[in-house]
Amino acid sequence: MARLVSIGDEALIALETIAGRAAGIFAPNVRVGVTGLSRAGKTVFITALVHNLLHGGRLPLFDLVHSSRLSSAALEPQPDDGVPRFAYESHVRDLVEKRVWPESTRAISELRLTVEYESASGWNRLLSGGRLHIDIVDYPGEWLLDLPLLGQSFDEFSAKAVALAQAGSRAALAAQFLTLAREADPEAPADEKFAAELSDAYKKYLQAGRDDGLALSTLPPGRFLMPGDLDGSPALTFAPLVQRASRARSGSLQAMMERRFESYKALVVKPFFKEHITRLDRQIVLIDAMHAMNAGPEAVHDLERALGDILACFRPGAGNVITGLWQRTIDRLLIAATKADHLHHEDHARMEAIVRRLVRGAVQKAGSAGASVETMAIAAVRATREATVMDNGERLPVIVGTPVAGEKIGEATFDGESETAIFPGDLPRDPDSIFKPGTIPTDEANRFVRFRPPRLEKSAKGVQLSLPHIRLDKALQFLLGDRLT
């Protein structure tokens, strides 16, 4: 992969890392990045993780809890004052009181969870007193898809973006943009009105690609989908060109687009990489593989491409006492398929095999760099339970839950209050088959309905229990277990 930042930037990153390491000698911390593409459940994952640790959740596969070494867990002020705080309390109210899913991640946010524990290591007790700050950094996966732009010229970006826009179902979505782009003369005088019109057409194509029926994933530039306070700025008012001169003439349309493309990288992409990605120690990437499979092979191929681009942007590597003083690397990387509660547990192994297939190439690169890589099927909040029903004398495994109001199964439309039992069907045995048409029959597509969060159980003493999950404890053990020994 091309170098994402300059040698000078690398030197500044190294100095900041040294300062951070020095501060962490007597106040150890670990920075955990949580990302994923739209609908993957990043907000739910973070909320459930914190809720279970704060409220004594059932986490038998998390050794810290299983061995009864967890003394306390509490939220504390985060170290980065310039980053919005993750709205944990609001998200808990949504899940527990309202039984609705929280709003999706739209920007970067952070939360510090401090864990006090009885260390099994005398050395750890001497240095930290069994105390670890866990800084959780939440950011949209779409922003990660921008990082490869740092190594691209405007010409390379245009060639790739136009080729992608002309492929498969994208061609119909991008018809308006492609028509305008083909008419654009790169050497014509820069025209602000035309630039805005072309950029808007390109953004509409990207937005259309996120439709549930298409479920496309590779849709950079990411801030075109989530502009925030840069909405309408020149740095977000550009688009790829079909025709390009070998050298842009001063004052031309192409020169304008090239300058704004470079401004986008300088103002948006590079700061995100330097200030956040290079400071991570651990990373989890959440994916909604079922949503892609439901949309068909094109969406699956697109998810595979997006995951490859995302994973290529991290800095994987094994921890090293010497180089670790000035260079942070992600030494543990977890790729987790969410919504495992939409499947019977017998299909979880097949889901994990599908995830391994989707990230096979990218994981090999990360593993060769020395990082530990794991794949799982999880549900940070379990919205269903398993049961069996008899159908014509045959016992069928089903999942039982409350579909979100407006969800449909066949001719039935649910009101958000009634429970139903759904036969989830079977995932394919061969992971490669998900790239072929007909893997998920269209008459079964509605089995992937959205369920409301569960109504929390209460203990015999009337105390509300923590959010139920599937393998959240296993994910915690992989991401943090070695730092809490």
Q: What 3-state DSSP class applies to 48? A: helix
Lowest mean pLDDT among 158-172, 354-368, 434-448: 434-448
Domain membership of residue 239 (yes or no) is yes
**Is the overall model pTM greater than 0.75, yes or no?**
yes
Give me the domain span that covers residue 166.
150-270
- Tens of pLDDT, residue by residue over 88-124, are 999 999 999 999 999 887 789 999 999 999 987 666 5
Q: Tell me, what's the pLDDT at 314?
A: 81
Domain membership of residue 333 (yes or no) is yes
Query: What are the Cα distances from residue 220, in Å, to 206, 224, 239, 342, 349?
Result: 8, 7, 11, 29, 32
Domain membership of residue 453 (yes or no) is no
Average pLDDT over residues 436-446: 59
Q: What 3-state DSSP class applies to 394? A: strand
408, 430: one domain? yes
Domain membership of residue 452 (yes or no) is no
Distant-in-sequence, close-in-space partners of 72: CB < 8 Å, separation ≥ 6: 115, 116
Q: Strands across the sheet with 70-76, in order?
A: 70-76, 109-117, 131-138, 29-36, 282-287, 332-337, 372-377
Tokens at residue 191, please? 């025209």
Q: Is the pLDDT of residue 196 over 70?
A: yes
Supply the DSSP string of 91-112, one letter for each residue.
HHIIIIII--PPPPP-S-EEEE
Give the separation between CA 144 and CA 158, rounded to whole angstroms.
18
Q: Tell me, what's the pLDDT at 318?
A: 62
Query: What are the Cα distances from residue 317, in Å, to 243, 266, 330, 397?
Result: 41, 26, 6, 42
Lowest mean pLDDT among 133-142, 157-166, 367-376, 427-436: 367-376
Q: Is the pLDDT of residue 477 over 70?
A: yes
- Tens of pLDDT, residue by residue over 304-313, are 988 888 887 7
CATH number, domain of 82, equals: 3.40.50.300
103, 252: one domain? no
Q: Is the pLDDT of residue 441 over 80?
A: no
Contact predicate 204/186, CB 8 Å: no
Average pLDDT over residues 211-229: 81
Helices vs strands, H then E, count in the chain: 17, 12
Give the separation between CA 453 and CA 94, rounded to whole angstroms.
9
Give the separation between CA 334 and CA 469, rounded to whole angstroms.
17
pLDDT band at 180 (very low <50, low <70, confident <90, very high): very high
Q: Tell me, what's the pLDDT at 328?
A: 73
- Tens of pLDDT, residue by residue over 115-167, are 999 987 666 556 556 999 999 999 988 888 898 899 899 999 999 999 999 99
375, 432: one domain? no
Q: Tell me, what's the pLDDT at 98?
A: 94
Tokens at residue 243, please? 């025709």
195, 53: one domain? no
167, 241: one domain? yes
Q: Is the pLDDT of residue 324 over 50?
A: no
Q: Of 220, 243, 270, which one is at a domain's C-terminal end?
A: 270
Other beta carbons less than 10 A from residue 463's beta carbon: 10
443, 352: one domain? no
Q: Tell me, what's the pLDDT at 54?
A: 95
Length of the chain in residues, anyone?
485
